[in-house]
Amino acid sequence: MSARADAATSSGADAAAQAARRRSFAVISHPDAGKSTLTEALALHARVISEAGAVHGKAGRQGVVSDWMEMERARGISITSAALQFSYRDAVVNLLDTPGHADFSEDTYRVLSAVDSAVMLLDAAKGLEPQTLKLFDVCRHRGIPVITFINKWDRPGRDALALCDEVSERIGLTPMPLTWPVGVAGHFQGVVEAGDGSFTRYARTAGGATVAAEDRLPAQRAEAEVGADYTAAVEELELVTASGGEFDADRYLAGSATPVLFGAAVSNFGVRHLLDLLVELAPRPLPRPDVAGAPRPLEAEFSAFVFKVQTGMDPAHRDQVAFARVCSGVFERGMVVTNATTKRPFATKYAHQVFGQERSTVDTAYPGDVVGLVNATALRVGDTLYAGKPAVRFPGLPSFAPAHFAVARPADLSKAKQFRKGVEQLSSEGVVQVLTSDLRGDAAPVFAAVGPMQFEVAAHRMRHEFHSPVKLDRLPYSTVRRLADPAQRALVDAGRSSEVLTRADGTDLALFEDDISMRVLQRRHPELALEPLVAAGD
């Protein structure tokens, strides 16, 4: 065997061994359930930060590490995904926080394409909310196993049994509680461990800024010291377990059941249980299927796919970072790889490990890791990167069906160059979909969005990052279809309440004021070929 072959074999074995240490997961939920707070609490328990902030930070406290955009800090919500990597025990954790608002569900979908499991947060007072249901559906569709963390148990909320029943009845996942709260919501004393009935009692820390102290009591001592609240918790836990909720790791990995934990992220209650569970139970990276459906072995040469592109993370440098999930082989900084979309080489001279907005140079990465590739202006969301031969390409990421449209024009005509650059950048990142047509011209592109808050983000970034304020004039369209035959474009453009615009990927979109307008045109022209687009949550 040649020296090169020996090196390749060694590299492949190293990739498989290192992949077994990786845990890559996303934190998802309805807005304001506490995702960013939980993300930071997990980092705090892993000892990679010394003090936690809060989304609405008190005087002198920093904002959460994963919310780095100015708008996020001001509003107290996540509007872009963030990647954090840290070590815990013998595992390397790649944690992806996701946007909380439903308007950014397309970004959440991209993140879910890059992880192996998910943590779903439920607000103890609100339970399953519309966005929560959509995200569970996406996880089910992608075969992503889900751990449920019922958050905010330190505040008044609903009954624990009722929340578990809701998970079972509304989304069809069997709850398998591994901990159970002692004390009703708002009077949280600690949790009972499902395995041995022991009681973990928590002590509050000032503002939840540090890891909460834990005092673990055996069952007999807990019953004597805590009394009725402990006894009630044990009885409720036994009731759920006897009703089919006994823990079974295979059912979790198969996506038919979900482990359930209770806690309060803002106070760091129950977070250690979650982190331990992720390290012990969450799936390791597996071979990822290519576009032909053939799994790419972990030991194969390096490959990765780009699931997010972001500009503005470092205002001092104004560079562009492409976030790539490593799928196989070993990534080595400086290697030259091929972009499967363009067939062109891409040099990885600047590669970073990302922790919120902070970065450090990464020299090596393995399957399951997320690498930030800097100065990646040639990369787009959905691109596949690979080394060696044969070529490989992973399935691309769908663009969701937009529901809101607005014409964008520069507020200052002297900033036309900055305007064009900013629009191109927002399109490449997927902040909004940018639509154009010969009738409107390049000076008046149409921004298309899943939700209206995307327009706010686009306008904010155009003003503050590209120094080209924009005027956004809303269009009345609410129904969108794909025009299957470009030769029929004139039929739609001739309508009084419809037009055809072209997306950056070349897709022709037929826009109508409403379903009635579309059906009227179809009756006039039965030959008109219109097809549905992917909708958010599908």
**Domain residue ranges of the chain, discontinuous segments joined by +:** 25-83+97-281, 288-386, 404-531
Residue 454 clears pLDDT 50, i.e. is over it: yes
The answer to whether 526 is a known ligand-binding residue is: no
Using pLDDT thresholds of 50, 70 and 90, give the confidence band for residue 225.
very high
Q: Is 213 or 285 the better-scoring residue by pLDDT? A: 285
Q: What is the pLDDT at residue 36?
A: 78
Q: What's the one-letter identity of residue 525?
A: H
CA pseudo-torsion sign 89, 91, 94, 100? negative
The answer to whether 99 is a known ligand-binding residue is: yes
Residue 213 clears pLDDT 80, i.e. is over it: no
Q: From CA 359, how far away is CA 314, in angstroms rounded?
A: 9
Rounded mean pLDDT of the chain? 85
Q: What is the DSSP letter of 528?
A: -
Residue 211 phi, psi (nearest 5)? -60, 130
* In contact, 164 and 170? CB cutoff 8 Å: no
The pLDDT tens digits of the residues spanning 319-332 come to: 678 899 999 999 99
- Summarize the confidence of residues 504-524 as an average pLDDT: 94
Q: What is the pLDDT at residue 321?
A: 85
Residue 144 clears pLDDT 90, i.e. is over it: yes
Residue 10 clears pLDDT 70, i.e. is over it: no
Measure the CA angle with vertex 58, ends 56 and 62; round to 5°.
75
Cis peptide before 289 (omega within 30 of 0): no
Q: What is the pLDDT at residue 77?
A: 45
Q: What is the pLDDT at residue 79?
A: 38
* In contact, 304 and 373? CB cutoff 8 Å: no
CB-based burial, 5-44: b 16+ in 10 Å, e otherwise? eeebeeebeebbebbebbbbbbbbbbbbbbbbbbbbbbbb
Q: From CA 254, how far away is CA 256, in angstroms rounded?
A: 6
Q: Is 65 or 305 the better-scoring residue by pLDDT? A: 305
The pLDDT tens digits of the residues spanning 86-137 come to: 889 999 999 887 765 555 567 777 888 899 999 999 999 999 988 778 778 8
Residue 182 phi, psi (nearest 5)? -100, 115
Q: What is the pLDDT at residue 70?
A: 54
- Summarize the confidence of residues 352-359 as an average pLDDT: 65
407 pairs with which residues across the strands? 446, 473
Q: What is the pLDDT at residue 193?
A: 95
E strand residue ranges, 152-279: 174-177, 179-182, 190-193, 199-203, 213-217, 257-262
Q: Which of 63-72, 302-311, 512-521 has the lowest mean pLDDT?
A: 63-72
- Summarize the confidence of residues 246-251 as an average pLDDT: 96
Using pLDDT thresholds of 50, 70 and 90, give the confidence band for residue 237.
very high
Q: How many CB atoms neighbour CB 287 within 10 A?
A: 16
Q: From CA 399, how far away is CA 448, in angstroms rounded?
A: 11
Residue 262 clears pLDDT 90, i.e. is over it: yes
Q: What is the pLDDT at residue 56?
A: 33
Q: What is the pLDDT at residue 12?
A: 74
Q: What residues have CB less than 8 Å from 253, skipping those under 6 apart?
A: 145, 283
The answer to whether 283 is a known ligand-binding residue is: no
The pLDDT tens digits of the residues spanning 151-204 come to: 999 999 999 999 999 999 999 999 999 999 999 999 999 999 998 999 999 877
Q: What is the pLDDT at residue 259?
A: 98
Q: What residues have CB less than 8 Å from 320, skipping those under 6 apart?
A: 309, 310, 311, 374, 375, 376, 377, 425
Using pLDDT thresholds of 50, 70 and 90, give the confidence band for residue 208.
low
Q: From CA 187, how far away is CA 172, in angstroms rounded?
A: 29
Percent of the chain's residues with pLDDT above 90: 57
SS3 424: helix
Q: Is 72 or 254 the better-scoring residue by pLDDT? A: 254
Q: What residues have CB less than 8 Å from 490, skipping those under 6 apart?
A: none
Q: What is the pLDDT at residue 82?
A: 62
Residue 381 clears pLDDT 60, i.e. is over it: yes
Q: Single out the residue of 445, 343, 332, 430 nearest to residue 385, CA to CA.
A: 343
Q: How far is CA 50 from the centre of its chain?
A: 25
E strand residue ranges, 375-464: 384-386, 404-410, 433-436, 446-449
Q: Which of 128-132, 245-249, 499-503 has the lowest mean pLDDT?
A: 128-132
Q: How is domain 288-386 classified at the architecture level of CATH?
A: Beta Barrel (2.40)
- Summarize the confidence of residues 26-53 as an average pLDDT: 75
Q: What residues have CB less than 8 Å from 502, skipping those under 6 apart?
A: 435, 436, 437, 508, 509
Using pLDDT thresholds of 50, 70 and 90, give the confidence band for residue 207.
low
Q: Which of 32-36, 116-120, 341-345 has the lowest mean pLDDT?
A: 32-36
Percent of the chain's residues with pLDDT above 70: 85
Fold exhibited by the domain 25-83+97-281: Rossmann fold (3.40.50)
Q: What is the DSSP letter of 327?
A: E
Q: What is the pLDDT at residue 442?
A: 80
The answer to whether 258 is a known ligand-binding residue is: no
Q: What is the pLDDT at residue 203?
A: 78
Q: From CA 97, how far away is CA 69, in angstroms rounded?
A: 13
The answer to whether 97 is a known ligand-binding residue is: yes
Q: What is the pLDDT at residue 48?
A: 65
Using pLDDT thresholds of 50, 70 and 90, give the confidence band for residue 464.
confident
Using pLDDT thresholds of 50, 70 and 90, give the confidence band for residue 9.
low
Tokens of 382: 């959905």
Q: Which of 139-143, 205-209, 245-249 has the lowest mean pLDDT?
A: 205-209
CATH class of the domain at 404-531 = alpha beta
Q: What is the pLDDT at residue 32?
A: 79
Q: What is the pLDDT at residue 450?
A: 83
